Amino acid sequence: MLSSLPELELEEWLVCFMYVLKNTPRTTVQSWMNLEPPKRRLNLFNVIDLSVKTFVKGGLSKQIDFVALDIIAHYLQHYGSSVEDKDEASPLLKRITFTLQRIFHKGEEQLDNTSSMLSVLFATLRLLLNTCPRPIFADVQSEFVETLIYELMRQCNHFDPTIRARAAALLYLAISVCPLP
Amino acid sequence: MKRQHATSPLFQTFKFLFLKILSQYEHYVPLNLPPHNFTVTEAELAQLGRAIKDNHALAGLMLDEVGYYFQLAINDPKSDSLLRTQLMIVLRALFVKHESDLRYRNRICQERIATLYFPYLLTVSHRVLHAHTNNVVCC
């Protein structure tokens, strides 16, 4: 099992994985995702999540988070609308929301995410809310929604006016797409 | 030489050293003939490792070793970790070299180089399948 490897070795495997993933052409990533069954696709996101979890401090952590957000956004762009229809996709969505939560928490631990990181994170969240609002607000995701709303409200006080505006707009979007019970 | 004859740690350390010398060669990338247009089809996905090994020799050699040691890592994570780490440090140094090489700074070059190592993504994501499927919340 990958996560039971000693930390030093695990970091080496994962950093190489993320380097290749970062630079692989997105068309290749897409054709790969098209060919893989959902279980293997889930596995890709498991490895991404493990990378986000493993690298916590320093510049490398930021780069890993950017790659993770990029791949998540790419996935949502192409498969987001199909998530609602398929039951097997829900563990994947759960994993994605878990990764996003980790990135949010990292920002909290390091006092604050940088403006560039928040912009990319918000763009991914906007995509998530627009493409699959129903599963996001389902009961199983309540912890994610809790973190999302809390962080958005916190970022509404950000020193950068652009981030404040984006956080407020995203909060409004979250309220407007929330399906009525 | 077959792998079962080459299990001594000293031999493996020398093997990694040899790979390091090969991979740090100035013209490593041109020798590998990075592919121009790369699209994966279903038939290719299964044979991709073999195709890379046949057409891009040095990267194929590296991937072959990495695949073998990754399988060992999955089978028995706790033993021989230091040895595998040595190999991964060689691979990481190679990627750092690719990224910092002034000749290949542009996006297209980086993409072509990364394509050489695409089977590595398959190796990792395919072989950890059973390890993570039952463990969605915490890995």
**Inside any domain, residue B16:** yes
Amino acid, res. A121 = L
B23-67 pLDDT per residue, tens: 999 999 998 887 776 667 766 777 777 778 788 889 999 999 999
**Inside any domain, residue B128:** yes
Q: How confident is the model at residue B70 (pLDDT cuts 50, 70, 90)?
A: very high
pLDDT of residue A85: 59
| Chain-chain contact of A43 with B70 (C-beta, under 8 angstroms) | no
**Cβ neighbours of A98 in B, within 8 Å:** 137
- Does the pLDDT at position B133 exceed 50? no
Distances (CA, A) of A74 to A40, A77, A124, B39: 17, 5, 9, 17
Per the structure, the count of domains in chain B is 1
Q: What 8-state DSSP symbol labels residue A4? A: G
**Inside any domain, residue B137:** no
pLDDT of residue A169: 96
| Chain-chain contact of B110 with A91 (C-beta, under 8 angstroms) | no
Residue B109, token pair as written in the block: 């070059």
ipTM value, please give it: 0.87
User: Which member of B81, B111, B120 has the closest CB to residue A6?
Assistant: B81
pLDDT of residue B138: 39
**Inside any domain, residue B121:** yes
**Inside any domain, residue B112:** yes
**Inside any domain, residue B138:** no
Any chain A CB within 8 A of the CB of B93?
no
pTM of the predicted structure, to 2 decimals: 0.89
**Inside any domain, residue B81:** yes
pLDDT of residue B137: 38
CA dist., res. A23 & res. B112, Å (int): 8
| Chain-chain contact of A46 with B40 (C-beta, under 8 angstroms) | no
Domain membership of residue B76 as a residue range? 3-132
Among residues A125, A38, A28, A121, the alpha carbon closest in space to that of A83 is found at A38
Q: Per-block average pLDDT, block size 10, for chain A (181 residues)?
A: 87 95 90 85 92 89 94 90 64 90 80 79 93 78 86 90 94 88 66
pLDDT of residue B132: 47
Q: Where are the alpha helices (DSSP H) in B3-138?
A: 9-23, 28-32, 42-55, 57-75, 81-100, 107-116, 118-127, 129-132
User: Which member of A8, A35, A43 has the closest CB to residue B132?
Assistant: A43
pLDDT of residue A49: 95
pLDDT of residue A137: 82
Q: How confident is the model at residue B136 (pLDDT cuts 50, 70, 90)?
A: very low
**Cβ neighbours of B36 in A, within 8 Å:** none
pLDDT of residue B49: 72
